[in-house]
C-alpha cells in the first residue's frame, strides 16, 4: 500500500462543495472517480480542508492510499485527463505513510476577493464578491488585527458547525486594495465552518463606515453569532495554501499566472 499526496485546484462554482454527497455533484466525487480510473480500483481521498458550495481552491492538498503501482506522473496526468476542465491536479507524489492531508497540516490560508466598484463583474462573475458601496480597506485591515492569536471564534461560527471546540489561532490577517479589488488574507491553524465568510461579512460594514473598527473586537468577546455580520457570499473565497512540517517535503504554491493573477494579486 502506497500513500500519495496531490495538490488540486478547482473552480467551485458548479459544485455542492468539496465533500462527496448523494444526488449532488462535488469536487471530491469527481476527483475520486478520476483517480479510480487510473488505479482500476476504488480510491477514497482525504483533504486538508472541506470547502463549501461555490468556494474555490488554488491549492487544496489531499492524500489517498492505493495498491496500484503507478508512477507519480500517471496520477498527475492520468488523473487530470479524467477530470472535468474546472478541476486540475497541480502535482502528485508519494509520501510517508504517516502523512495526513488534514491532521498533519500546520496552517491553512484563505483569500477572499471583493470587487469594489459601482457595476457588477462580467469576466469575474462567480469568482469575486461584488460590493457597490466604497469600502475603506485600511479600516478593515485595522479591525482584523483583533483576530490575531488564540480566541474563541463562536461569533463567527456557523450554526451547524461540527467542530468540537470554537478555539482557533489566527497567525496572520491582512486587507489590501489594488485598484477596484480588495484582498482579505487570513492564515490560521484551522477554521470553523463559515468562519472566513462570517468574518468578511462583519468587516464589510466596518469598511463602509457603518460600524467602528473596534466593533469587531467587541463581537469577538461577546461570542454570539447572531450579533455578528452576514455570511459573505461563497464566490469570493479561495483556499490558497496549506503548510506542513518540513520533513514531509510538501511543495509550497508558486505564483499563479493568467486568469487568477488579478484575483490573487500575483
The whole-angstrom separation of Cα 237 and Cα 129 is: 8
pLDDT at 263: 55
pLDDT at 255: 55
pLDDT in tens, 112-166: 999 999 999 999 999 999 999 999 999 999 999 999 999 999 999 988 887 889 9
Residues carrying an active site annotation: 52
Say which residue, 159 or 256, is predicted with more confidence.
159
pLDDT value at 262 more than 60: no
pLDDT at 169: 97
The whole-angstrom separation of Cα 142 and Cα 72 is: 45
pLDDT at 258: 39
Question: Residue 42: which region, alpha, beta or left (left: phi > 0; alpha: psi -120 to 50)?
Answer: beta
Name the CATH architecture for the domain at 2-104: 2-Layer Sandwich (3.30)
Q: How many residues does the chain have?
A: 266
| Residue 52: DSSP 8-state | P
> Is 107-239 the same fold as 2-104?
yes
pLDDT at 259: 43
Choosing among 3.40.50.2000, 3.30.300.30, 3.10.20.600, 3.30.70.660, the CATH entry for 107-239 is: 3.30.70.660
Average pLDDT over residues 250-262: 61
pLDDT in tens, 184-218: 999 999 999 999 999 999 999 999 999 999 999 99
In order of 73, 78, 102, the CA distances from 62 in angstroms are 16, 16, 8
pLDDT in tens, 59-118: 999 999 999 999 999 999 999 999 999 999 999 999 999 999 999 999 999 999 999 999
The whole-angstrom separation of Cα 100 and Cα 214 is: 39
The whole-angstrom separation of Cα 240 and Cα 185 is: 9
The residue ranges of every structural domain in the chain are 2-104, 107-239
Of the given ranges (200-209, 219-228, 230-239), which has the lowest mean pLDDT? 219-228
Amino acid at each position: 500500500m502506497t500513500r500519495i499526496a496531490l495538490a488540486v485546484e478547482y473552480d467551485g462554482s458548479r459544485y455542492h462543495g468539496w465533500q462527496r454527497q448523494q444526488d449532488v455533484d462535488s469536487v471530491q466525487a469527481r476527483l475520486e472517480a478520476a483517480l479510480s480510473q487510473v488505479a482500476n480500483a476504488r480510491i477514497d481521498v482525504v483533504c486538508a480542508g472541506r470547502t463549501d458550495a461555490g468556494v474555490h481552491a488554488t491549492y487544496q492538498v489531499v492524500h489517498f492510499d492505493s495498491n496500484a503501482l503507478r508512477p507519480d506522473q500517471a496520477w498527475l496526468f492520468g488523473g487530470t485527463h479524467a477530470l472535468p476542465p474546472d478541476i486540475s491536479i497541480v502535482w502528485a507524489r508519494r509520501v510517508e505513510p504517516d502523512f495526513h492531508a488534514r491532521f498533519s497540516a500546520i496552517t491553512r490560508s484563505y483569500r477572499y476577493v471583493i470587487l469594489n466598484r459601482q457595476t457588477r463583474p462580467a469576466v469575474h462573475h462567480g469568482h469575486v464578491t461584488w460590493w457597490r458601496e466604497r469600502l475603506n480597506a485600511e479600516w478593515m485591515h485595522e479591525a482584523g488585527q483583533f483576530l490575531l492569536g488564540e480566541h474563541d471564534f463562536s461569533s463567527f461560527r456557523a450554526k451547524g458547525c461540527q467542530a468540537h471546540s470554537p478555539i482557533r489561532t489566527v497567525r496572520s490577517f491582512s486587507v489590501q486594495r489594488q485598484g477596484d479589488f480588495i484582498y482579505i488574507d487570513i492564515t490560521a491553524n484551522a477554521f470553523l465552518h463559515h468562519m472566513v465568510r462570517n468574518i468578511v461579512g462583519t468587516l464589510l460594514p466596518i469598511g463602509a463606515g457603518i460600524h467602528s473598527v473596534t466593533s469587531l473586537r467587541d463581537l469577538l468577546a461577546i461570542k454570539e453569532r447572531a450579533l455578528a455580520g452576514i455570511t459573505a457570499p461563497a464566490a469570493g473565497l479561495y483556499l490558497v495554501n496549506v503548510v506542513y512540517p518540513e520533513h514531509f517535503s510538501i511543495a509550497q504554491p508558486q505564483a499563479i499566472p493568467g486568469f487568477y493573477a488579478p484575483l490573487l494579486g500575483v
